[in-house]
Amino acid sequence: MEPLKDTLQTLQDEALRRIESAADAIALESLRVEYLGRKEGRLTQILRSLAQLSADEKKAIGQQSNQVKGLLEEALTRKQESIEKEKIDLSLKTSLDLTLPATPWMRGKCHPLTQVMDDIVSVFTRLGFNIAEGPEVETDFNNFTALNHPPDHPARDSHDTFYVKDFKDGANVPLLMRTHTSPVQVRYMTTHKPPVYIVSPGRVFRHEAVDATHSYVFHQVEGLAIDTDISLADLKGVLSLFAKSLFGGDGGIRFRPSYFPFVEPGIEVDISCTLCQGKGCSVCKNTGWIEMLGAGLVNPKVLRTVGYDPEQVSGYAFGIGAERVAMFKYGINDIRLFYENDLRFLKQF
Ligand code: PHE
């Protein structure tokens, strides 16, 4: 028979190995019962058989058994702890921890110019204006002739207008990149009867060198109202509302005489400087006023060209530069920032 000492050693090695590789808490518990169980436990049985041994043997084997028991208990505890830890780690990994910071999402949004154009347009749509859009490539007739630009008007000069090479309209006149969104008004008036209340947002093009305040492509929102009994007072009212909505403040505006071929009288509209409340600052060059847009009462010649009767109806028109509005609103001093798509700039809006 194998000496008891060796049996104990074999039992110890085997038990430690099995404990170490136990898969879960249940397997571990059944190992504890198998080796250390109070009735049937294998070590318990060995201890029970000590009674038959001599006093010396009893002492030696007794000591060894206690040692084995200690080792096994220790190994069981250690393994149990590591199984529990694994369980917690796994649940942390697979469960939702509401205390963790959320995964950041890159949120897309509209370009500042789009936002400003939407803001401008909504001032007028709230008053009942419709949105009318048109093509960026236009006929000379819609862009100039119908808007009362005589054939020799300087704006037709190639220094101001991009002509589209090799493309001509029905009258064999070159097509061009629209220099304002006013041609949309011509298109609309020739296809609709008065009353007309429209705003035309869009991109426009001019043959211009780029610098801090100029660009060869920029954006306008132009408005047109045609109805019976329209006067400058109506224009002043809606533009004052526009100024108040976009810039806050009291909506103070002033008219200065100016000239645009398609309006008579033509006026330039200044808004009260909301940075200094009209007191005078560097942005308004100490005048208390900011030049903001062109406007006027629609020239009767234009009305006649589109088939309206100037004896029956009259109207006003205005043209707002979106970049100009955005630059004043946000204190931006270089127009090029709008077109460079630098995220450090765009993220601020
Ligand atoms: N169409 C003009 C421009 O682009 C602006 C304007 C519109 C002026 C309506 C007066 C009336 O310069």
* CATH classification (class only), 112-346: alpha beta
Q: Does any ligand 1 atom lie closer than 6 A to the CB of residue 337? A: no
pLDDT of residue 303: 97
Determine the Cα–Cα distance for residues 249 and 276; give it in Å rounded to an integer: 10
Q: Among 82-96, 199-213, 285-299, 313-327, which stretch is predicted with the lowest mean pLDDT?
A: 82-96
pLDDT in tens, 331-346: 999 999 999 999 999 9
**CA dist., res. 278 & res. 297, Å (int):** 27
Residue 180, ligand 1, Cβ within 6 A: yes
- Model confidence at 105, pLDDT cuts 50, 70, 90, reads confident
Buried b (16+ CB within 10 A) or exposed e, 160-172: ebbbeeeeeeeee
Nearest alpha carbon, ligand 1 atom 2: 319
| Segment 272-309, tens digit of pLDDT | 998 888 888 888 889 999 999 999 999 999 999 999 99
**53 φ, ψ (degrees, to nearest 5):** -90, 165
Tell me what pLDDT residue 1 has: 54
Average pLDDT of the residues in 10-38: 93
User: How does strand 289-298 pair with strand 263-272?
Assistant: antiparallel
pLDDT of residue 229: 92
Distance 163 CA to ligand 1 centre (A): 20
pLDDT tens readout for residues 126-184: 999 999 999 999 999 999 999 999 888 887 777 689 999 889 888 888 899 999 999 99
Q: Is there an atom of ligand 1 within 6 Å of 247 CB?
A: no
Give the mean model confidence (pLDDT) for residues 25-35: 94
CA distance 340 to 349: 15
Check residue 274 and give its pLDDT: 86
CA angle, corner 130, sides to 248 and 216, nearest 5? 70
- CB-count exposure of residue 15 (10 Å: 0-12, 13-18, 19+): buried
pLDDT the model gives residue 92: 81
Q: Per mean pLDDT, which range of 58-62, 84-88, 119-123, 151-155 is the poorest? A: 151-155
pLDDT in tens, 244-257: 999 988 888 999 99
Where do the structural domains in the chain lie, given as residue ranges?
Answer: 2-95, 112-346
Query: Do 182 and 195 touch, CB atoms closer than 8 A?
Result: no
Q: Which of 11, 20, 101 is nearest to 64 (CA)?
A: 11
For the cut 90, the answer to whether the pLDDT of residue 18 exceeds it is: yes
Arithmetic mean of pLDDT over the chain: 92
Q: Decide: 137 and 203 in contact? Cβ < 8 Å.
A: no
DSSP 340: S
Instruction: Please give the number of the atom of ligand 1 that sits closest to the Cα of 267.
Output: 10
CA distance readout (Å), 279 to 193, 205, 272: 45, 35, 9
Asked if 61 contacts 9 with a C-beta cutoff of 8 angstroms, the reply is: no
The answer to whether the beta carbons of residues 292 and 270 sit under 8 Å apart is: yes
Note the pLDDT of residue 40. 87
d(CA 280, CA 272): 10
Ligand 1: which atom is nearest the Cα of residue 223?
A: 9
Q: What is the pLDDT of residue 132?
A: 98
- Ligand 1: which residue has its CA nearest to atom 3? 180
* pLDDT (tens digit per residue) in 201-228: 999 999 999 999 899 999 999 999 999 9
Distances in Å between the Cα of 303 and the Cα atoms of 252, 259, 264, 284, 286 are: 30, 17, 12, 36, 40
* Of 177, 222, 232, best ligand 1 pocket probe by most atoms within 8 Å of the beta carbon: 222
Where does the pLDDT of residue 106 fall: very low under 50, low under 70, confident under 90, or very high at 90 and above?
Answer: confident
pLDDT at 94 over 70: yes
Please work out whether the CB of residue 317 comes within 6 Å of at least one atom of ligand 1: yes
Closest CA to 121 of 192, 181, 36: 181
Cα 281 to averaged position of ligand 1 atoms, centre (Å): 27
Interval 190-207: pLDDT, tens: 999 999 999 999 999 999
